[in-house]
Amino acid sequence: MKILDFVFDFGKPSFNGTGGLCRVRTYVAKDSKPVTFLTELDKNDGQSVTNAVEFIIDKLILDRGFNEHVFIEHYERDNDILFHDTFDMVFIENKKPKWNQLSKIEVENLIGKDDFTDLKNDRSSKNERILKQADSIRFKRNPWIDSPYQKSNSFIQRKLSIEKQMKSKNDLIKLIESKCIEQDLLAFLKQDLSFFGEVYSNPEDEYIVFSEFPIENGSKDKNGSIDFVVFTGRSRMDVILIEIKGANFNLFNQNGYCQPHADISKAHQQIRDRLHVAYYENMSSFRKQCHIFRNEAENGKSSFKNYLVGAEGKLQVDPNKEIKIRTVIIGGRTQDDQKESLERHKFERSHTIPITLESWDTWIRKLKREN
């Protein structure tokens, strides 16, 4: 027979510990000691039952008079088909716990078949009374425990400032659907660099976006540049080079050969020429220059006419570690999404320098803003 069933607030096991809670269920079988199950809860906000078990038992004995109880540590493994709960009898010797694993048959023999069925069917994660008790304890400790992490005031200020300048996703879609040329898209996107931070930043809001990023093309072109570049990442900085083309052509020619449009091939060659300098001629110099640009932008001293620092501000990257270069080409329109997806992957895999190919249709789907 079950005589007790409640959520136990076992508090802090030590001065520096974290409060915690568990479910306590006590069953009494005929002519036997009470058997108390200490069940771990998903809503436990502190140490696990395993890590605090000696403290929990001691507190139950001192505060609740559980002197002659048999204690069983219990973990529910919710599964709609199989019953995978674990049970371990706990002994305290010299103030240290010892565990003895029990089979389901052994537990059933301890408390009886009917009570074992009750234990098996009464899942803590679905018991509204237990969930409410757990929440009551948690909210008394911290009324904000389930609230989103509170960002700093400076983050919120920067985020609001970026949002105020954001262009509409719908306006971009209208521009693309008008079959606009490359120059029109460049002009629009330069007004809102957060489009690229939104798609490529990882972690979210940790990015710097530049337009007209200078990368020399050897002796042929000392004034070469990439349309847009995104700095993001943690520890090792990701440098994402982005070339865009117009929306006034199909991504792949519809002549049966599925070759990329000439403008896409041109963009690929532009990126390849620029990256030849970074990859093969002086990667160390390119990495150092990227971090100089990053540091200047983070401190508001950039020589770039057009750049945007994400809401998190400074990137948590190590200037002494290698950078990871990624390249993206965006251009043209999709006609057959499934077929072209395969062709895009073929295109991407066929080049030594990795390139991600997007049509404007596939790229728009990656935007997070609603309109």
Residue linked to tokens 């030590």:
14
pLDDT at 218: 47
Indicate the pTM of the whole model: 0.68
Domain ranges of the chain: 2-141, 153-364
What's the first-to-final CA gap in the chain, in angstroms?
59
Residue linked to tokens 């530049």:
210
pLDDT at 217: 55
Between CA 142 and CA 21 the distance in angstroms is 14
What are the tens digits of pLDDT across the range 240-296? 999 999 999 999 876 655 788 889 888 888 888 777 766 667 788 899 999 999 999
Strand order in the sheet with 20-27: 2-11, 20-27, 35-39, 70-75, 86-93, 96-102
pLDDT at 151: 84
Between CA 239 and CA 209 the distance in angstroms is 10
Q: Which fold has domain 153-364?
A: Restriction Endonuclease (3.40.91)
Between CA 87 and CA 70 the distance in angstroms is 12
Which residues of the chain fall short of a pLDDT of 50? Answer: 15, 218-220
DSSP string, 70-114: EEEEEE----SS----EEEEEEEETTEEEEEEE-HHHHHHHH-HH
